[in-house]
Amino acid sequence: MVDRSTPPTGPTRPPLSGASLTLRLTGIALVVAALAGAFAYVNGTFDPQRLTPKKLINVLETNNGVHPGFRRNHAKGVCVIGHFESTAQARSYSSAQVFSEAQTPVVGRFALPAGNPYAPDSAVPIRSMALRFTQANGQQWRTGMNSMPVFPVGTPEAFYQLQQAQSPLPATGKPDPAAVPAFFGSHPETAPFLAWIKTAKPSASYATETYNSVNAFYLVNASGQRQAVRWNMVPVAQDATGATAPEGSDFLEKDLVQRLSAGPLRWQLMITLANPGDPVNDASKAWPDGRKVLNAGTLVLERTQPQLNGECRDINYDPLVLPSGIEGSDDPLLAARSAGYASSYLRRTSEVSQLPAAKQEAQQ
């Protein structure tokens, strides 16, 4: 949503005419369509017995409603612009240019989970940060992180079943109250997430959160050596313990604009190295304490932009868009996220003719 009373803190692109906007997003959609087809094939789109990206996005729409022009998950958010300042600590582990250059430009997005762009900010305790690093050689690193330490489940199928448990029943229009408890009771791997969620409270600011990759990846150096890792963006904000969220629907974006008006916000990119035997294909399992941690550099965010016409609007934060020197693990959730994001992207860009109405509604 856009707060009319708050002017943008940085330059935004001039409004596009209906025709030019349509052409622009249609062109992007065609490129992503080819990528989506490749991911969909890998993930079983042509096998009706397997979970497909279409089924996954359909159940999200069933649970959240369809909001034309918005993402099917993490629908409510705000664009951010900044850069990344690297240290030397990750350079021996990865040949990625982002770890060797002094600065790399970043376009990011803060958001809430779920697919309702009008949900109150206090509705859920989870916040997300998505980033696109654009290296000098043209390669990109895209990552989507969440404030939760682990994912509820370890497979796309279990995630789909969890969404089904929350779907409204045709007879009542409401979910079966016994379905979600039954799901958790039959999935013991959800215990770490449930332990966290019981004490988690909605924070008052995006700036005070730690954001976690949750999934594992590999850093690859110039010699081809691979090291399994997870990473965290840890806030430098002095009040990083986080205050209780205030009442109201849209305090997170307002807080972010106010903080950035006083100066840049910073996070440290902390990369945790796995030990042999640590699970690298199951995001529901945390790694034990005591692992080596690298301080790979500082994320510096300088200004915000509205998500409906800011630079992050047209970015699909696919976690498998990676530069040389970073590789995805065999965590099945990564492939599912990639395919699901592509499916969501195609749907929202195909709704470009409805964006003006969506924009007017968001600004009211």
Per DSSP, the three-state class of 349 is helix
Which residues are part of the catalytic machinery?
Answer: 74
- Cβ neighbourhood burial of 185 (10 Å; 0-12, 13-18, 19+): exposed
Rounded to an integer, what distance in angstroms lies between the CA atom of residue 338 and that of residue 348? Answer: 16
Rounded to an integer, what distance in angstroms lies between the CA atom of residue 254 and that of residue 247? Answer: 13
160 carries a ligand binding annotation: no
The answer for 265, left when phi > 0, alpha when psi is -120 to 50, beta otherwise, is: beta
Could you tell me which residues come within 8 angstroms of residue 198 by beta carbon, excluding any fewer than 6 positions away?
Answer: none
220 bridge partner residues:
226
Residue where the block lists tokens 């990011």: 108
**Sign (positive/negative) of CA torsion 338, 340, 345, 350?**
positive
Could you tell me which residues come within 8 angstroms of residue 236 by beta carbon, excluding any fewer than 6 positions away?
Answer: 265, 266, 267, 268, 298
Residue numbers belonging to the annotated binding site: 341
- Residues at the annotated binding site for heme? 341
